[in-house]
Amino acid sequence: MEYPTLLPRFLKYVKINSRSDEHATCFPSTQREVDFQKVVMQDLVDLGLSDVHYNQQAGAVIAEIPATTTTIVPVIGFLAHCDTADFNSENIRPQITKNYDGQSKIQLGDSDFYLDPAIFPHLHDYQGQTIISASGDTLLGGDDKCGVSELVTLAEYLLAHPEIKHGRIRLAFTPDEEIGTGASHFDVADFGAAFAFTVDGEKPGKLDWGTFSAAQFELSIQGVDVHPAVAKGQMVSALKIARDFQNSLPAKEVPEQTSGKEGFFHLCHLSGTVDHAQLEYIIRDFERDGLETRKQMIRDIVDRLNATLGTSRISLKMHDQYYNMADELKQHPEIVDLARAAYRDLGLKINEDPVRGGTDGSQLTYMGLPCPNLFAGEENMHGRYEYTVLESMYLAVDVLVRIVSRLAEAPIK
């Protein structure tokens, strides 16, 4: 169904810069995230939700939609993140293309950039629908202000329709998902849900309960810089060592040459001189054993190169980021079944392909809050070509309503 306040709410939210910062040393990582959360928090208060508060430990806004049934129903939670990714988020100017013909290119503002179905064929799926994009020099922010808008709209709709029976519903609006640090601070006890769903996915029908397992590592390489005229036997180029390390990794196990359940190594950042170089990588694999094998490969390469150099010129720092939530959610199939049933009720074709990434739910599931991910209608995330579809957002709210209704009809034990 249509929700008249959803579009204006979304447009208001995306115009507010709430980008996180991976280089920050504070939590949440930016004040602008907190400022945006204050806007959301006031909207929740104005709607009349219960227990609206800011949890300092979690850096999250928490609220409750009270139960409308006396039946004993498990407390369900929904989460959406308030930060946007590391692309220009200042002065976002959303544009609306109504009744899209499914074939034409959509110019992004007055820029030289277009949403082109020849490049993004999923645009063909949205003939006759409303496309919301940005102006070509910023992202849109639908990741995850789609989810934020949908949760607030869900609250507004359920409060206006007490005849819809449901148990207690807890909502959380979290920071720093895009930099992978927000969920680690989450206060599961204060949230108080038996299980939850993040609302942070792609097109209608996408249901995520399997993700990569992930690690990150940094290399610091110390070279010896002398004048090239007298370099023989003295110079040790940190940049050459960096190149040797990169060339020691499997050449085809990179994001641009893998798909499906294939893992990869990804060089995210490289800076340096002859004297010193710094490299930052992420490792991804769907299997925990596969992740450990990849991590050991890194250690072995570092040890071999240091042995060849005759001293420890390469230092390694490595840590795990999150694990495949499927390993835990297989023990709670009834939660995924609840979402499947809601999707089917709405005639959606379900896509359960594992996520080639992670969500806050990856960490939350291992923190004792089983947490699959639902679609929110986000497309082409993290860049100037990001867009969403209004009808997809309507469907996302429909799914949320159906999930809480089904849970009241047949409570999970």
> How far is it, in rounded angstroms, from Cα 59 to Cα 145?
17
Under the banding of pLDDT at 50, 70 and 90, the label for residue 413 is: confident
Q: What pTM was computed for the model?
A: 0.89
Judge whether 203 and 379 are in contact, CB under 8 Å.
Answer: yes
Q: How many CA atoms lie within 13 A of 315 on its CB side?
A: 7
Beta strands in 248-351 (DSSP E): 264-272, 276-285, 314-322
% pLDDT > 70, the chain: 100
192-217 pLDDT, tens digit per residue, is: 999 999 999 899 999 999 999 999 99
So which residues are the catalytic ones? Answer: 83, 177
Is residue 230 over pLDDT 80?
yes
CA 238 to chain centre: 34
Residue-wise pLDDT for 54-68, tens only, equals: 999 999 999 999 999
Average pLDDT over residues 120-142: 96
Q: How far apart are the C-alpha atoms of 348 and 369, rounded to whole Å?
A: 26
Beta carbons of 154 and 78 less than 8 angstroms apart: yes
Average pLDDT estimate for 114-136: 97
Rg for the chain, CA atoms, rounded: 23
Task: For CA atoms 358, 183, 197, 144, give the dihedral sign.
Answer: negative
DSSP string across 230-274: G-TTT-B-HHHHHHHHHHTS-TT-SGGG--TT--EEEEEEEEE-S
pLDDT score, position 258? 96
**How far are the Cα atoms of 89, 139, 375, 399 from residue 386, in angstroms, in the given order?**
12, 6, 15, 23
Neighbours of 154 (CB within 10 A): 25
Confidence category of residue 412, pLDDT binned at 50, 70, 90: confident
Q: State residue 372's pLDDT score.
A: 97
Asked if residue 401 has pLDDT above 80, the reply is: yes
User: Mean pLDDT in the chain?
Assistant: 96
Q: What's the fold here for domain 213-322?
A: Alpha-Beta Plaits (3.30.70)
Interatomic CA distance for residues 150 and 101, integer angstroms: 25
Helix/strand/coil for 111: coil
CA-nearest of 408, 360, 388 to 122 is 388
CB–CB of 326/211 below 8 Å? yes
pLDDT at residue 180 in the model: 85
pLDDT digits (tens, 9 = 90+) for 362-385: 999 999 999 999 999 999 999 999
Residue 358 has pLDDT above 90, yes or no: no
Q: What b/e string do you get for 224-263 counting C-beta neighbours within 10 Å, with b at 16 or more? A: eeeeeeeeeeebbbbbebbebbbeebeeebeeeebeeeeb
Q: Report residue 119 CA to chain centroid gap.
A: 23
Altogether, the residues listed in the chain come to a count of 413
Q: State what percent of residues in the chain have pLDDT above 90.
A: 95
Tell me the DSSP string of 54-78: EETTTTEEEEEE--S--S----EEE
Architecture of domain 6-210+324-409: 3-Layer(aba) Sandwich (3.40)
Cβ–Cβ under 8 Å, residues 358 and 320? no
Which ranges constitute the DSSP H helices of 57-191?
Answer: 142-160, 188-191
**Residue 112: what pLDDT?**
95
Write out pLDDT tens, residues 267-293: 999 999 999 999 999 999 999 999 999
Residue 2: pLDDT band (50, 70, 90) is: very high
- State residue 359's pLDDT score: 83
Give 178-241 as a DSSP string.
Answer: TTT-SGGG--HHHH--SEEEEEEE-STTBEE--B-EEEEEEEEEE-B---GGG-TTT-B-HHHH
Locate the domains of the chain by residue range: 6-210+324-409, 213-322
Query: Would you place residue 355 in the very low, low, confident or very high pLDDT band (cuts 50, 70, 90)?
Result: confident
Give the model's pLDDT for residue 148: 98
With beta carbons less than 8 A apart as the criterion, state whether 195 and 369 touch: yes
